[in-house]
Structure 1
């Protein structure tokens, strides 16, 4: 088992976590008391808990904790996420949970945010045992998410930490996923090197970098009815090209997505989503084939990493492992998109 997967599997000592949370919560609101904590599912780089609180403005809070024993860098840097939420809250352009408190203790950093009502659902991918919302609701959610993404990309942050954030170039995006792909076992059978080379050879002209989420999809949003109530899971936010976010988002809603188990009725097509985004953003997004190819390249890398970690812990039935046979088709589709350039 890899170090990150092992740390995440073990998790924090819950009584000790309650003690930490009580101390931190009282600095936020004197007299607050944590009465219950339970772990929430999901998350590859951090642990998430729902805590009940007495004698405080919020009776339920969500806590993000870095895995113990690992450096709090990049996607495990809880304080970096907390800082962004603190900046986005007053801006009011993107619906996000309210940051309540953060702590950088000896057992690793954590932060707490308000609990937002709503459900997170990937319409084409998730099992959806309780059934999907109706087509009209799903379509409206997708358009609401497109507008939220445009607002996110138009958000202007002025804090010193934002000015110090190094922009991520398109070349750096390719390098990141190439590095991840190189760590995958050869028996995964993923012939990806030519895709990386072709992406580099056809790299588009860059645009002014902006705030990007990094994993913007309906599964990382809370929705009530037709509206997005909160954008969550900011582990890999960066200052980068907005078209990278946009391509990842529209790919996630494509019925031909490599992970799709259905084509959910009511979801808008890629062209309709791009038009909705462009209208809200105030600019035409231009040709997106290269960015969709990059999104498929990234999908291959991230899914391969999930599969690798699952196999190391002996979980042969994990989602990433089940996805491995579909990844060559994702790379083939990326090549077809690059052929259009």
Structure 2
């Protein structure tokens, strides 16, 4: 689910000078450090740099790519700028540059962004549970931001739209890599819930994209696929990561994590009952299986060599199986 960073020294040097010049023009002074690549970005190059005692994270369009879709760095900057002061914790945007390859700089927020059931180092179980509860409590703030206050640039995605998106991804994966996916797909397609009023959807809301200081969320990052859409899509995706049993061979089971019932209750906080959540839970599993199947296919075709992808089959099968059980 991540993109490796391959920055040549020439590219890095050219980008570094641009970053220093634009940040300096924006009033950030001090001796600059070298632009240092960071691992883990999804769709662009990610770096950190300091001017004096001020540290920044820079996200840039990869060389040879255009600023469209997931590579549109300035689109990410626009939504985070719009959310400043909204109660949704986001890093402050400090500079943008629309000259290709485009980039933006945001403040570096200290903390941890670790998925307890997947990432290393392992998060202490009580702290992992506290972070997950707080993430469920913070998510309604995101969904409560008026769309009229945001730089909306597309039509809201309905549950049917979301299913169609991930059906296309799954359809590009050889069926032997995603056994049982056709049945789960048919079950999802036969019972698509009606859409509710659209809200701002991050698109990949989970602890791995939420920088925490202790148990408190400090910054929601990685806004590559934000859109207006159905809040239950976001909640269903978040719930996939609440149970390490979903990831055999890849992740770990963490004792004491809140279950789906508790997380939904914390999200709803006494509000209206969220209908059809079982469908969205199953959709989240279908989506994760499609992403993992896509990554495994790329590895086996030699397009992106990563032996760790060979650990995925058991997780793919578990996700499809449990998604099917929820709808069957």
Provide TM-score, normalisation by structure 2.
0.91
Instruction: Identify the residue that residue 264 of structure 1 maps to in structure 2.
Output: 254
**1:212 to partner: Cα distance:** 0.6
Q: Which moved more, 1:74-83 or 1:305-314?
A: 305-314
Tell me the number of residue pairs that the alignment of Structure 1 and Structure 2 aligns: 324
Runs of 4 or more above 4 Å deviation: 30-33
Instruction: Identify the residue that residue 35 of structure 1 maps to in structure 2.
Output: 33
**Aligned counterpart in structure 2 of residue 147 of structure 1, from 131, 137, 153:** 137
Instruction: Identify the residue that residue 52 of structure 1 maps to in structure 2.
Output: 50
Report the CA distance shift for 1:314/1:215 in structure 2 as closer, same or farther (over 3 A).
closer
**1:241 to partner: Cα distance:** 0.4
Kindly report which structure 2 residues correspond to 1:180-199, keeping only aligned pairs within 5 A, or say none: 180-185=169-174, 187-199=176-188
Report the CA distance shift for 1:314/1:233 in structure 2 as closer, same or farther (over 3 A).
closer
Instruction: Identify the residue that residue 123 of structure 2 maps to in structure 1.
Output: 132
| Alignment partners' CA distance in 2, 1:214 and 1:97 | 17
| Alignment partners' CA distance in 1, 2:7 and 2:34 | 19
The question of whether the paired residues in 1 share the 8 Å contact of 2:180 and 2:321 is answered with no
| Alignment partners' CA distance in 1, 2:179 and 2:6 | 28
- What is the aligned-residue RMSD (CA, Å)? 2.3
- Cα deviations across residues 103-158 of structure 1 (Å, max 9, x unaligned)? 1113x211110111110111111232xx42251x2222111100111111111243
Instruction: Identify the residue that residue 69 of structure 1 maps to in structure 2.
Output: 64
The question of whether the paired residues in 1 share the 8 Å contact of 2:79 and 2:150 is answered with no
Kindly report which structure 2 residues correspond to 1:112-123, keeping only aligned pairs within 5 A, or say none: 112-123=105-116
**1:182 to partner: Cα distance:** 2.2
Runs of 5+ consecutive residues of structure 2 not aligned to the other structure: none
The question of whether the paired residues in 1 share the 8 Å contact of 2:236 and 2:284 is answered with yes
**1:251 to partner: Cα distance:** 1.4
- Cα deviations across residues 47-88 of structure 1 (Å, max 9, x unaligned)? 11111112xxx6100011121112222211111101000100
Kindly report which structure 2 residues correspond to 1:212-223, keeping only aligned pairs within 5 A, or say none: 212-223=201-212
Corresponding residue SS for 1:119 = coil
| Alignment partners' CA distance in 1, 2:50 and 2:296 | 34
Corresponding residue SS for 1:276 = helix
| Alignment partners' CA distance in 2, 1:264 and 1:84 | 33
| Alignment partners' CA distance in 1, 2:221 and 2:28 | 27
The question of whether the paired residues in 2 share the 8 Å contact of 1:150 and 1:277 is answered with yes
| Alignment partners' CA distance in 2, 1:20 and 1:10 | 15
Report the CA distance shift for 1:189/1:278 in structure 2 as closer, same or farther (over 3 A).
closer
Corresponding residue SS for 1:90 = coil
Report the CA distance shift for 1:30/1:328 in structure 2 as closer, same or farther (over 3 A).
closer
| Alignment partners' CA distance in 2, 1:113 and 1:217 | 20
- Cα deviations across residues 232-261 of structure 1 (Å, max 9, x unaligned)? 111111110000110111111113223563
The question of whether the paired residues in 1 share the 8 Å contact of 2:35 and 2:49 is answered with yes
Report the CA distance shift for 1:321/1:66 in structure 2 as closer, same or farther (over 3 A).
farther
Q: Which moved more, 1:233-242 or 1:39-48?
A: 39-48
**1:307 to partner: Cα distance:** 2.5
**1:100 to partner: Cα distance:** 0.8
Report the CA distance shift for 1:231/1:5 in structure 2 as closer, same or farther (over 3 A).
closer
Kindly report which structure 2 residues correspond to 1:171-320, keeping only aligned pairs within 5 A, or say none: 171-185=160-174, 187-258=176-247, 261-279=251-269, 282-311=271-300, 312-313=302-303, 315-318=305-308, 320=309
Q: Which moved more, 1:231-240 or 1:282-291?
A: 282-291
**Aligned counterpart in structure 2 of residue 100 of structure 1, from 58, 70, 94:** 94
Q: Which moved more, 1:145-154 or 1:11-20?
A: 11-20
**1:102 to partner: Cα distance:** 1.0
Corresponding residue SS for 1:79 = helix
Instruction: Identify the residue that residue 111 of structure 1 maps to in structure 2.
Output: 104
1:79 aligns with 2:74: yes
| Alignment partners' CA distance in 2, 1:290 and 1:225 | 33
The question of whether the paired residues in 1 share the 8 Å contact of 2:204 and 2:234 is answered with yes
1:332 aligns with 2:310: no
